Amino acid sequence: MALRTHPTPPPTAESAAAAAAPCLEVRDLRVGFALEGGAVVQAVRGVSLCLDAGEVLGLVGESGCGKSTLARACAGLVPIGSGEVLLQGRPFARLPAGERRRLRPDLQMVFQDPYASLNPRMTVQETLGEALRVRQALAGAALRAAVAALLDEVGLTPEQAWRYPHEFSGGQRQRVAIARALATAPRVIIADEPVSALDVSIQAQIINLLNRLCRERGLAMLFISHDLAVVHHLADRIAVMYLGRLVEVGPAAAVIAAPGHPYTRALVSALPDPDPERERRRRRLLLQGDLPSPLAPPSGCAFRTRCPWAAPSCAEREPALESAGDGHLVACLRREEIAAMSAEKP
């Protein structure tokens, strides 16, 4: 656990409530973008989720489903239309600028492209040192030692502190970006597709690094990816997003072993089975058609236009997330019928 140099204030009722609250909580969040001509595209439509200390929540879905918009709204990088984003129990997105600035170090982002997210004119020492000076009031030898410790924590050497971003490989740049996120001693990290721009040989190293840092530091992490296999390896819980809404949330093992939503079933069926014989025998669920436009989502269940089990009733109302037992939530009007039909198949 990273040490904080600031003295710990005496506990108050407000601080006790914050300690008991989830690190990050999203309540009925909606985010829309106005287009030319007056049309509004709803990128995030009524999403609610929570993230506890030390927990990794994997958010998975197709490109264009609203994952990155949700992440940026949580970090205060895009305005929200309605709903709440609570950081340590406080309404982060709606706080006055000064209060939000004081809370911002507790939530940091790791972006998809590390080269675009690092200042090319600053050395690593300057990039990390800037955050450490502001957060921990370090200078001189103490600052250089703190930067060296951060680099060591992410698998880099102190000598690399004096290099510029273009002098690193893609995987090394992402390690620098992770170190920058850690420099403020955050409670929450949002990792938005942090390995999708990296070579396959490097992806596992970064995933294992993030996993180790979360466990060692007790960090809460929202890990966003379109790759369910990566999310399954890393996450404690999985949230599946489709066209701006969550369609399934639950413990990672339960979501993979017994997916309740047809969309999740399709994602899970695409995962390779390590047993060659089982892989040869199993039947995949192939989706037809493309993701509908968020400008004109289908009525009722947004997935019904691609769902092999869709019924006329699916067009009549939008399903809400409902309990499937043991913290497993599914938004499907025909969940029990589909489960029964699937169980009857050989």
User: 99 and 167, same structural domain?
Assistant: yes
Based on the fold, state whether residues 273 and 205 are members of the same structural domain: no
197-203: average pLDDT: 86
Q: Are 46 and 83 in contact (CB under 8 A)?
A: yes
Does residue 93 share a domain with residue 164? Answer: yes
Burial pattern 315-345, b for ≥16 Cβ within 10 A else e, equals eeebbebeebeeebbbbbbbbeebbeeeeee
**Any domain includes 12:** no
Residue 1 domain-assigned? no
Q: For residue 7, what pLDDT band results from cuts at 50, 70 and 90?
A: very low
By C-alpha distance, which of 102, 104, 118, 229 is closest to 163?
118
- Looking at the fold, whether 68 and 215 belong to one and the same domain comes out as yes
Report how many domains make up the chain: 2
Kindly state whether residue 17 falls inside one of the protein's structural domains: no
CB atoms within 10 A of CB 286: 9
Both 177 and 282 in a single domain? no
Clarify whether residues 248 and 325 are in a common domain: no
CA distances, 239 to each of 35, 56, 242, 263, 328 (Å)? 29, 11, 10, 12, 10
Q: Would you say residue 119 has pLDDT above 50?
A: yes
Range of the domain at 328: 262-290+298-346
Residue pair 238/222 in contact (Cβ under 8 Å)? The answer is no
Q: Where are the beta strands (DSSP E) in the chain?
A: 24-34, 40-51, 56-60, 82-87, 90-91, 107-110, 188-192, 220-225, 237-242, 245-251, 322-323, 329-330
Same domain, 145 and 282: no
Residues 285 and 196 in one domain: no
Rounded CA-CA distance 244/265 in Å is 18
What would the pLDDT profile of 16-30 be if each residue is shown by its tens digit?
A: 445 568 999 999 999
Cα–chain center distance at 51 = 10
- The residue with tokens 């067009």 is 315
Does some domain include residue 5?
A: no
Residues 51 and 70 in one domain: yes
Q: Is residue 14 part of a domain?
A: no
Last residue of a domain, one of 200, 234, 257: 257
Clarify whether residues 185 and 303 are in a common domain: no
Is residue 16 in a domain? no
Retrieve residue 155's tokens: 């698998």
Q: What tens digit of pLDDT does each residue of 151-169 get?
A: 999 999 999 999 999 999 9
| Tokens 């506990």, residue located | 11
| Residue 197 CA to its chain's centroid (Å) | 16
| Residue 60: strand, helix, or coil | strand
> What is the tens place of the pLDDT at every residue in 256-303?
999 999 999 999 988 877 777 777 777 788 888 888 888 889 999 999
pLDDT tens profile 41-72:
999 999 999 999 999 999 999 888 999 999 99
Residue 122 is assigned to a structural domain of this protein? yes
pLDDT of res. 37:
81
Tokens 């066209």 map to which residue?
A: 243
Residues 268, 277: contact at Cβ < 8 Å? no
In eight-state DSSP terms, residue 275 is S
pTM for this prediction = 0.89
Closest alpha carbon to 288 in 268, 310, 261: 310
Same domain as 109, residue 77: yes
pLDDT, average across residues 86-93: 90
CATH number of the domain encompassing residue 241 = 3.40.50.300
* 3 assigned to some structural domain: no
Q: Hey, is 165 helix, strand or coil? A: helix
Q: 18 or 195: which carries more pLDDT confidence?
A: 195
Q: Is 346 exposed, middle or buried (0-12, 13-18, 19+ CB in 10 A)?
A: exposed
Please indicate, yes or no, whether residues 216 and 283 belong to a single structural domain of this protein.
no
